[in-house]
């Protein structure tokens, strides 16, 4: 009798354990800690928060955005806590929980005082391109000073977890993936292929070679680009063809429909400014999941995906264009296809997704001021350097005291100032007096004196968080609201502290995410520590964010 009861007990225990292991919202790691099989980070380059609702009625009911909003958790008041709000800084902050003052990524490029030269955020001439004869693969994360959440996941699982980064832009693939990633892949517009760097691999995996051989860009070009729906239904946009819109498909290509067939086999750069750049990125994501068998191993894997096309379209046509509306309606479908694929491949409830943006964008000044009387303008700070050097030459007898004006900052020749024994405060005063008198400038101040400067607390914090002396300028320039840096011939940009640049979407979906929303203010830097909490791993080494407890209680 005892043996019979023992057998029954063991049988029931086995059933209970099996049932627990197969619960849809529970996946076990090698250590037995519940974790999702796959974490998918989606970053939409240049997505203002209001795009979630500006086009909400036009998104498909079972599409991407409505599915994430309705079945996931939305942080409606997510802000970027630093300046400049640009691509490299945003992708880095999302995956590190850090800010430029700590992680060292102070812009897409910067004047680097350590090497006395311009530096690109991921440029690395010590590595070679894998998958192309071009130099587009001479990239790595070597400028990143801290770990990413992917690095910490790899460390936590003794490198059994796989981490892959994907984006059309090199920086949007490399910086999220981190130092120890298995690979990062980006697009080479000279060949139309996905490539990588010798930093990661010695040759492209076969699954990627096979994908490249399909020449999908040419197949997309064959479709041309017309609006998804009748153009007269695009009532959330300005009329097609505005005077401030650029013409990336040729001077004669004035509005929809756009003929792309002439680019087949000739111009692979044009894919960036079409909705097919997003679809092509989804193709790559699916191939990577299949090829690397992501989400099928004993531990949690991570895939970082950035959709770069919205940034190209925003810079080219502006946020209020038909083109911008159309790419987001189509991106809604692309994200839906990706989620359907994840459901089938990894399993519903077995993967964790977050969707956010690296920055937003201002409306085009011509659209705001000339057409709607809202104060706005284009600040031409690129011309400041020459004038400043002439003024400083007269004042101090020194040539080229100003090295560069970029990232909304004036970079001074610190070595020259020291060699000549010039008074730094006196030099700053000349620069400040000139800059604050320029049209569109709101404030300017010395970055090493920011704590002594009377500023709104939000702006002061943003400037402090963006200041890493070896890679930052000496004078910070702040433009008036709705004024942008350059782009006087059309299009728009981003980079300031204002909500149109710093208010971003943040949606959570899938594994252990309960539907809901919060309107309290959270920050881009909170994303990585929240993932760390959910996975029970260490947060990245430079993280200054906090866990969003509504998502990870």
CATH number of the domain within which 419 lies: 3.30.1360.150
User: Could you tell me which of 126, 131, 139 has the C-alpha nearest to residue 173?
Assistant: 139
pLDDT tens column, 242-252? 999 999 999 99
Q: What is the pLDDT of residue 30?
A: 57
% of the chain exceeding 90 in pLDDT: 91
- Which pLDDT band holds residue 381 (cuts at 50, 70, 90)? confident
Same domain flag for 289 and 393: no
Is residue 57 located within the same domain as residue 120? Answer: yes
110 and 198 housed in the same domain: yes
Q: Are residues 355 and 416 in the same domain?
A: no
Looking from the CA of 264 toward its CB, the CA atoms found within 13 Å total: 13
What tens digit of pLDDT does each residue of 124-169 get? Answer: 999 999 999 999 999 999 999 999 999 999 999 999 999 999 999 9
Average pLDDT of 230-240?
A: 96
**Long-range Cβ contacts of 264-270 (<8 Å, 24+ apart):** 264/218, 264/221, 264/222, 265/218, 268/187, 268/188, 268/189, 268/190, 268/191, 268/192, 268/217, 269/189, 270/221
Residue 184 resides in a domain: yes
Do residues 358 and 401 share a domain?
Answer: no
Asked, for residue 18, whether it belongs to a domain, the answer is no
pLDDT reported for residue 523: 98
Based on the fold, state whether residues 264 and 399 are members of the same structural domain. no
pLDDT of 489 reads 87
Q: Are residues 303 and 389 in the same domain?
A: no
Domain that holds residue 406: 377-481
* Residue 411 and residue 528 share a domain: no
Summarised one tens digit per residue, pLDDT across range 465-518 is: 999 999 999 999 999 999 999 998 889 999 999 999 999 999 999 999 999 999
Tell me which of 85, 87, 316, 356 is the catalytic residue: 87
Whether 551 is covered by a domain: the verdict is no
Whether residues 395 and 502 share a domain: the answer is no
Q: Catalytic residue at 87?
A: yes
Query: What per-residue confidence (pLDDT) applies to 254?
Result: 87
Is the pLDDT at 18 greater than 70? The verdict is no
- Do 61 and 163 lie in one domain? The reply is yes
Mean pLDDT of 194-202: 98
Task: Determine, yes or no, domain membership for 549.
Answer: no
What pLDDT shows up at residue 118? 94
% of the chain with per-residue pLDDT over 70: 94
- 275 shares its domain with 172: yes
16 lies in some domain? no
Strand, coil or helix: 424: helix
Question: What separation in angstroms does the CA of 421 have from each of 188, 238, 396, 401, 498?
Answer: 47, 56, 10, 13, 38
Based on the domain organization, do 452 and 524 belong to the same domain? no
pLDDT in tens, 247-270: 999 999 989 999 999 999 999 999
Q: Is residue 14 part of a domain?
A: no
- Rounded to an integer, what distance in angstroms lies between the CA atom of residue 399 and that of residue 54? 51
Number of domains composing the chain? 2
What's the CATH code of the domain at 355? 3.40.720.10
- Asked whether residue 13 is assigned to any structural domain, the reply reads no
Report if residue 540 sits inside a domain.
Answer: no
């Amino acid at each position: 009798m005892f043996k019979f009861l023992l057998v029954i007990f063991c049988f029931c225990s086995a059933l209970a354990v099996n049932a627990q292991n197969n619960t849809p919202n529970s996946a076990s790691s090698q250590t037995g800690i519940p974790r999702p099989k796959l974490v998918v980070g989606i970053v939409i380059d240049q997505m203002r928060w209001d795009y979630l609702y500006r086009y909400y009625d036009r998104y498909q009911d079972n599409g991407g955005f409505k599915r994430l909003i309705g079945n996931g958790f939305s942080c409606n008041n997510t802000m970027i806590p630093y300046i400049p709000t640009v691509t490299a800084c945003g992708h880095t902050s999302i995956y590190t929980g850090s800010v430029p003052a700590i992680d060292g990524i102070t812009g897409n490029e910067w004047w680097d005082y350590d090497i006395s030269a311009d530096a690109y955020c991921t440029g690395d001439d010590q590595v070679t391109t894998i998958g192309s004869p071009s130099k587009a693969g001479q990239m790595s994360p070597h400028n990143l000073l801290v770990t990413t959440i992917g690095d910490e996941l790899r460390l936590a699982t003794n490198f059994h977890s796989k981490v892959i980064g994907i984006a059309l832009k090199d920086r949007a693939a490399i910086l999220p993936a981190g130092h120890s990633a298995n690979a990062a892949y980006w697009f080479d517009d000279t060949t139309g292929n996905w490539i990588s760097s010798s930093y990661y691999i010695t040759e492209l995996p076969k699954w990627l070679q096979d994908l490249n051989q399909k020449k999908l860009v040419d197949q997309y070009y064959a479709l041309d680009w017309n609006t998804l729906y009748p153009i007269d239904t695009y009532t959330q946009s300005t009329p097609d063809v505005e005077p401030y819109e650029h013409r990336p498909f040729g001077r004669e290509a004035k509005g929809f429909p756009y003929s792309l067939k002439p680019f087949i086999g000739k111009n692979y750069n044009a894919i960036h400014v079409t909705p097919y750049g997003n679809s092509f990125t989804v193709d790559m994501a699916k191939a990577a999941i299949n090829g690397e068998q992501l989400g099928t191993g004993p531990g949690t894997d991570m895939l970082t995906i950035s959709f770069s096309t919205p940034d190209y379209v925003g810079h080219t046509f502006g946020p209020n264009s038909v083109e911008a509306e159309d790419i987001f309606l189509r991106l809604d479908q692309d994200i839906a296809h990706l989620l359907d694929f994840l459901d089938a491949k990894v399993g519903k409830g077995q993967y964790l997704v977050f969707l956010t943006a690296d920055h937003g964008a201002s409306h085009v000044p011509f659209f705001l001021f000339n057409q709607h009387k809202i104060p706005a303008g284009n600040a031409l700070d690129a011309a400041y350097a020459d004038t400043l050097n002439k003024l400083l030459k007269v004042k101090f007898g020194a040539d080229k005291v100003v090295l560069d004006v970029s990232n909304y900052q004036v970079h001074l020749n610190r070595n020259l100032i020291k060699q000549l024994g010039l008074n730094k405060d006196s030099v700053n005063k000349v620069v400040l007096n000139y800059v604050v008198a320029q049209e569109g400038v709101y404030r300017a101040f010395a970055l090493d004196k920011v704590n002594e400067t009377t500023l709104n607390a939000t702006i002061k914090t943003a400037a402090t968080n963006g200041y890493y002396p070896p890679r930052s300028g000496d004078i910070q320039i702040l433009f008036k609201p709705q004024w942008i840096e350059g782009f006087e011939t059309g299009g728009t940009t981003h980079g300031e502290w204002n909500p149109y640049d710093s208010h971003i979407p943040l949606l959570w979906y899938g594994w252990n995410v309960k539907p809901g929303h919060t309107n309290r203010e959270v920050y881009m830097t909170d994303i990585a520590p929240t993932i760390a909490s959910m996975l029970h791993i260490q947060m990245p080494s430079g993280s200054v964010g906090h866990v969003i407890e509504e998502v990870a209680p």
